[in-house]
């Protein structure tokens, strides 16, 4: 299908459920809106680690034009993901996007925030009612370990989320050698997520995109999840050789935590993923093809 005269890849089938093929779905796409490359953390595994400055002026009018183009072409915008960098570094811009997305014609679009939740501006953004879901990057359960990983100071009130609907929040935890890299550490991370009051947590292996990621890579199978008490497999979904994820439940003291794991992912696979950086719309995260 084409938008702005350029061909794009769309998602036409749902994910395969174990060995059962995915069912046909309306053509749809997700947009990842990179509002900045700047971040308060300086994680060595991050693809933005070498980006010292926030990006140039953001074209809100162009983002609106992209959304209307998809609508006019009959393409479902499944999710609008606000990401970075750390979106809280440009909180006023994110507020402008949220205000734009409160227009009646955009009311059915799922709004998602990616944040590390460490800044006061981040926690303020998390309280906005327009978010349908929030992913919080949190790669350890101890503030001292997070300070090492992030290269920034973790304040004592970093995990006091007043006014935030924690049922919208999921924790995203990278498996990193020397940090969360075995069953005991993963178990502690599960308990920490429960203590925060979030309903779900995701464990993801690093993509080997730089030397740090190669040196600190931990495969999901190294964790031996079956050694963690009260962790139960529920299902798995995949898109063939491109990506696979598995789902589990952790049940402790009458509290249930949903667990998501990305078993593998092809970083060049970009069907259904559009990226808008404030200036240009592209297909996928690692491609230079400008659509608009």
| Per-residue confidence (pLDDT) for residue 135, from 0 to 100 | 98
**Domain extent listing, the chain:** 2-16+29-283
Assign 94 to helix, strand or coil. helix
pLDDT at 10 over 60: yes
Q: Which residue has the higher pLDDT, 276 or 265?
A: 276
Per-residue pLDDT of 47-77, as tens digits, reads 765 555 556 689 999 999 999 999 999 999 9
* pLDDT cut 70: percent of the chain above it: 96
Interval 83-87 mean pLDDT: 94
Q: Which residue has the higher pLDDT, 63 or 284?
A: 63
| Per-residue confidence (pLDDT) for residue 263, from 0 to 100 | 85
CATH number for region 2-16+29-283: 3.20.20.70
What confidence category does residue 285 fall into, taking pLDDT thresholds of 50, 70 and 90? confident
H helical segments located in the chain: 60-72, 91-100, 120-126, 143-150, 183-196, 211-215
Cα–Cα distance, 113 to 111 (Å, whole number): 7
> Are 179 and 206 contacting, i.e. CB atoms less than 8 angstroms apart?
no
**Which DSSP helix (H) or strand (E) runs through 138?**
none
Per-residue pLDDT of 111-141, as tens digits, reads 999 999 988 999 999 999 999 999 999 999 9
Least confident of 119-123, 140-144, 264-268, 282-286: 264-268
| Per-residue confidence (pLDDT) for residue 52, from 0 to 100 | 53
What confidence category does residue 264 fall into, taking pLDDT thresholds of 50, 70 and 90? confident
Q: Which residue has the higher pLDDT, 271 or 102?
A: 102
């Amino acid at each position: 299908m084409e938008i702005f005269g350029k061909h794009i890849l769309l998602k036409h089938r749902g994910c395969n459920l174990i060995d059962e093929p995915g069912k046909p779905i309306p053509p749809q796409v997700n947009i990842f809106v990179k509002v900045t490359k700047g971040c308060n953390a300086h994680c060595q595994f991050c693809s933005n680690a070498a980006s010292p400055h926030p990006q140039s002026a953001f074209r809100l009018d162009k983002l609106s034009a992209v959304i209307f183009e998809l609508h006019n072409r009959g393409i479902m915008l499944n999710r609008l993901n606000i990401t970075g960098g750390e979106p809280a570094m440009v909180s006023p811009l994110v507020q402008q996007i949220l205000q734009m997305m409160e227009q009646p014609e955009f009311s059915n679009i799922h709004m998602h925030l990616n944040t590390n939740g460490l800044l006061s501006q981040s926690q303020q953004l998390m309280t906005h009612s327009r978010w349908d879901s929030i992913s919080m990057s949190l790669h350890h359960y101890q503030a001292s370990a997070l300070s090492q990983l992030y290269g920034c100071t973790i304040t004592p009130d970093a995990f006091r989320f007043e006014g935030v609907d924690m049922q919208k929040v999921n924790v995203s935890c990278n498996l990193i050698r020397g940090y969360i890299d075995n069953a005991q550490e993963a178990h502690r991370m599960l308990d920490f997520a429960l203590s925060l009051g979030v309903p779900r947590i995701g464990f993801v292996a690093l993509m080997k995109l730089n030397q740090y990621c190669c040196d600190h890579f931990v495969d999901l199978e190294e964790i031996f999840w079956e050694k963690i008490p009260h962790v139960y497999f529920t299902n798995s979904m995949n898109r063939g050789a491109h990506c696979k994820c598995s789902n589990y439940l952790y049940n402790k003291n009458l509290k249930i935590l949903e667990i998501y794991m990305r078993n593998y992912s092809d970083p060049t696979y970009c069907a259904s993923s559009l990226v808008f950086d404030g200036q240009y719309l592209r297909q996928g995260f690692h491609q230079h093809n400008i659509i608009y």
